[in-house]
Amino acid sequence: MSDENGLLELRNQLDTIDNKLLDLINERMQIVHKVGALKAKSGGAIYRPEREKAIIERLEKINQEKKGLLNKSAIEALFLEIFAISRNLELPENIGYLGPEGSFTHQAAEARFGAMSSYIPISSIKGVFKEVDTKKVKFGVVPIENSSNGIVNDTINGFSKYNLKIIAEVVLDIHHTLASTCDKITDIKKIYSKDIAFDQCRRFLTNFGLDEAELIPIESTTKAAKIAASEPNSAAICPHVGAKLYNLPILFENIEDKDNNKTRFFIISDFENAPSGNDKTSILVKFPNEQGALVRFLNDFNDAKINLTKIKSHIVEGNSIFFIDFDGHKDDENVKKVLEKHKNSVKILGSYVKEVNDI
């Protein structure tokens, strides 16, 4: 058999497999439609992160046993997209996120909800909470913390004001680019970006002499790319997707000082998750003005063998408040007892599938 005939035979085999895949996906969608009809009758939520996580973990285990060629990331990317298509066939999803288009929050939203969903950029974190609360959007995506810059206060304030729930977390590796229409970096006189991005790229700016350029902070890294695309002798520190969005040439990739720079995002909505067996819970706690209140609270968690993974203090409207993460679901028996004991001090923000221990 000639190489040309062999190639044709392999392509025919691929076509046959693709036909079978299409039939199987359509068969899956028919079952999804039946499940959706039953959920509609019972008032159940269409998006169930704990169920999706369980499916992916099961498929990863099967793939390992069969020594499949797909790695974990490939399986997750493939099936998260299938899940998103399934949900959108039942009920098109509107997802509000901290904009603008091309922001890291936009990337986090797409990583969870896929390409078919309707994404709505919202100009502030407060606005995301408001639009979810008024049901103009079903889901909201907001940053909660960065590994270099800590907790996002506006998100804590949003949880303090609104009775919305965390239904999932997404963690992204944050990479910045230097993008410009300039051919030489010595031609760059102005650099636009968010102040936090400048802070995360100080070493690069110093090493390349760009700390002598005028650093102009603006509200988003994507807007920085838009400005730099039209303004001579300027550049932007922005995400790769932001530069591509405005056809802005990228001069340097991955210019952040720390190679483990990560941001954690919360997906918020108006329902609660069932336990998955591998959950994390987030709460806000305002302790009574009594000596030892914090110590007693922490001792109760320790006695119940609940692992606290984060505790951060904040000031909200002049009051000291704590943001706390711990392992477990709010409906676990040992967790319920502690939360009930401190119910006058605790606001439960949500229990959700644990993606990472901490960042």
Name the residue type at position 41.
Answer: K
pLDDT class for 15, splitting at 50, 70, 90?
very high
How far separated are the first and last CA of the chain, in Å rounded?
A: 56
pLDDT at 92: 64
Domain boundary among 215, 241, 271: 271
Asked whether residue 81 falls in the same domain as residue 124, the answer is no
Q: In this predicted structure, what is the pLDDT of residue 1?
A: 58
End position of a domain, from candidates 90, 114, 134: 90
Is 258 within the bounds of a domain? no
What pLDDT score does 111 carry? 84
- Residues 23, 103, single domain; the answer is no
Query: Per the domain annotation, does 257 fall within a domain?
Result: no
- Residue 215's DSSP bridge partners are 191
Within-domain flag for 321 = yes
Pair of tokens at residue 308: 């606290």
Q: Does 235 share its domain with 303?
A: no
Q: Are 132 and 156 in contact (CB under 8 A)?
A: no
With CA atoms as reference, report the closest residue to 140 among 84, 97, 198. Answer: 97
Choose among 345, 300, 351: nearest CA to 325: 351
The answer to whether 265 touches 155, Cβ cutoff 8 Å, is no
Residues 73 and 23 in one domain: yes
**Inside any domain, residue 134:** yes
Residues 49 and 98 in one domain: no
Q: Do both 290 and 351 map to the same domain? A: yes
Helix 3-42 / helix 72-90 crossing angle, nearest 10 deg: 50
Identify whether residues 75 and 99 lie together within a single domain. Answer: no
Q: Are residues 144 and 226 in the same domain?
A: no
pLDDT digits (tens, 9 = 90+) for 89-135: 766 678 999 988 888 899 899 888 877 788 999 989 999 999 999 99
pLDDT at 174: 87
- Count of the separate structural domains present in the chain: 4
CATH number at residue 349: 3.30.70.260
pLDDT tens sequence across 209-233:
998 899 999 988 989 999 999 999 9
Q: Convert the pLDDT of each residue in 28-37 to its tens digit.
A: 988 887 876 7
121 in the same domain as 62: no
174, 196 Cβ separation under 8 angstroms: no
* Res 279: pLDDT: 93
Task: Assign residue 67 the CATH number of its domain.
Answer: 1.20.59.10
Reference 45, options 135, 141, 131, 167; nearest CA is 167
* Residue 180: count of CB within 10 angstroms of its CB: 27
pLDDT at 45: 62
Q: Are residues 357 and 279 in the same domain?
A: yes
Position 305 in a domain: yes
**H or E stretch covering 337:** helix 333-341
Structure-token match 């998103």, residue found? 84
What is the extent of the structural domain holding 159? 92-173+266-271
Residue 94: the pLDDT is 87
Within-domain flag for 4: no
Residue after which a domain boundary falls, among 39, 74, 90: 90
Q: What is the pLDDT of residues 182-206, one digit of tens each?
A: 999 999 999 999 988 998 999 999 9
Whether residue 341 is contained in a domain is answered as: yes
Q: What is the pLDDT averaged over residues 15-25?
A: 93
> Which residue from 203, 205, 200, 196 is spatially nearest to 235, judged by alpha carbons?
205
Q: Which two tokens stand for residue 206?
A: 């110093």
State the pTM of this model: 0.79
In a domain, 219, yes or no: yes
266 pLDDT tier (thresholds 50, 70, 90): very high
Average pLDDT, stretch 316-344? 90
Q: Is residue 53 a contact partner of residue 352, using CB atoms and an 8 Å limit?
A: no
Residue range 303-326: mean pLDDT, rounded? 88
Contact 344, 286 (CB under 8 A): no
Contact 334, 270 (CB under 8 A): no
Render the burial of 110-122: b for 16+ CB within 10 Å, e for the rest: bbbbbeebebbbb
Kindly report the CATH number assigned to the domain that includes residue 233.
3.40.190.10
pLDDT tens profile 39-82: 656 555 667 778 888 888 899 999 999 999 999 888 988 888 88
**C-alpha span between 208 and 203 (Å, rounded):** 9
On whether both 159 and 188 belong to a single domain, the answer is no
